[in-house]
Amino acid sequence: MEKSIDQLLKKSRLSVTESRVRILELFFSQPGALAHGDIEKKTGEKFDRVTVYRTLQVFLAKGIIHTIPTNDNSIRYALCREACEEGHHHDNHVHFVCNDCGSTTCLEEITIPVIKLPKGYASSQVEMIVSGTCRECKK
Amino acid sequence: MEKSIDQLLKKSRLSVTESRVRILELFFSQPGALAHGDIEKKTGEKFDRVTVYRTLQVFLAKGIIHTIPTNDNSIRYALCREACEEGHHHDNHVHFVCNDCGSTTCLEEITIPVIKLPKGYASSQVEMIVSGTCRECKK
DNA sequence: GTAACTGCAAAATATTTGCATCCTT
DNA sequence: AAGGATGCAAATATTTTGCAGTTAC
């Protein structure tokens, strides 16, 4: 694990620092998406709030993570898959937001259906967010 | 126009005040979605920032408008269609966000395709956001 | 050794709350 | 007249920026 995180950072021409490694570990350790606040808490407030902001911005710019739009104010971040490259995302999977526990999950197994846009529109990215009750909360 | 806005407010058991009427007129006067800042500007900063916040919250609660999730931080608001009722939205149309001019449009004519969720998930709402270049910017 | 990264302080923004006053019904 | 809505002030929360010290390479 350590190894692959190292490599991921190096591949993106970023230096391997403690905060970056810890935050990436966090993302790899769970299937869902994380909001800024989650990251602060789950790293035990070890890193400065500003460092978290900057780290997320760098990861975004390098195409390591992507944002997931949500109805409430909070932006969530999730790991990109292989296909993502710097400045060019291809996350054509569905995101699920649970209204009970608030967790956001990437439903990798579901592909977003292709829709036909009205004349004159060109699409570069499609997002699909399903909200409801997740597997855990439904039990 | 005046008339129907009046009726809309009355139907929602809200008193008819200048700010509410002006803000609703704004929504009706254009096809897209508006962010908080847009509303402040387009009303000529006539109303207190706090009033705009509170007005939007009330409209949301009454099911007059709904939020559109976006990748960037900004929440957009758009009018609900007939089918929306208090606390229960049915906006199963696609939203289009233009990366050039930043406008958000409701593509009423396109219905979100139904997808099959993995076992154990229950969906209450589905959002679909397409981003790219809109009709105006493509010209 | 140098460039990049971090933490602290502080600035800039955004959002919420309390309360007195004003407007709608 | 009574209740709700607004505006102002101020409290909170969120995000950004500058800079000096530290760390990775």
Q: In terms of CA atoms, which chain B residue is nearest residue A123?
A: B132
Residue B21's pLDDT is 98
Nearest nucleotide by C1' from B55 CA? D5
Q: Which residue is nearest to nucleotide C13 (CA to C1')?
A: B37
* Per-residue confidence (pLDDT) for residue A58, from 0 to 100: 97
User: Please, are residues B85 and B62 in contact by the beta-carbon 8 Å criterion?
Assistant: no
Q: Which residue has the higher pLDDT, B137 or A139?
A: B137
The reply to whether A73 touches chain B by the CB within 8 Å rule is yes
Name which residue leads in pLDDT, B69 or B43: B43
Which of B13-27, B88-102, B112-126 has the least mean pLDDT? B88-102
Which domains, and CATH codes, for chain B?
A: 2-138 (1.10.10.10)
As a whole-number percent, the residues of chain A with pLDDT over 70 amount to: 90
Instruction: Mark yes or no for CB contact A117/B128 under 8 Å.
Output: no
- Residue B138 is predicted with a pLDDT of 81
pLDDT for A30-82, tens place per residue?
888 999 999 999 999 999 999 999 999 999 999 999 898 887 778 899 998 75
Residue B7 has pLDDT above 80, yes or no: yes
| Nearest-by-CA chain A residue for B75 | A73
In this complex, which residue's CA is closest to the C1' atom of nucleotide C8?
A: A48
**pTM assigned to the model:** 0.85
In the sheet that holds A122-133, the strands lie side by side as: A65-68, A76-79, A32-35, A104-111, A93-98, A122-133, B122-133, B93-98, B104-111, B32-35, B76-79, B65-68
Q: Is B128–A132 a contact, with Cβ atoms under 8 angstroms apart?
A: no
A50 touches chain B (CB under 8 A): no
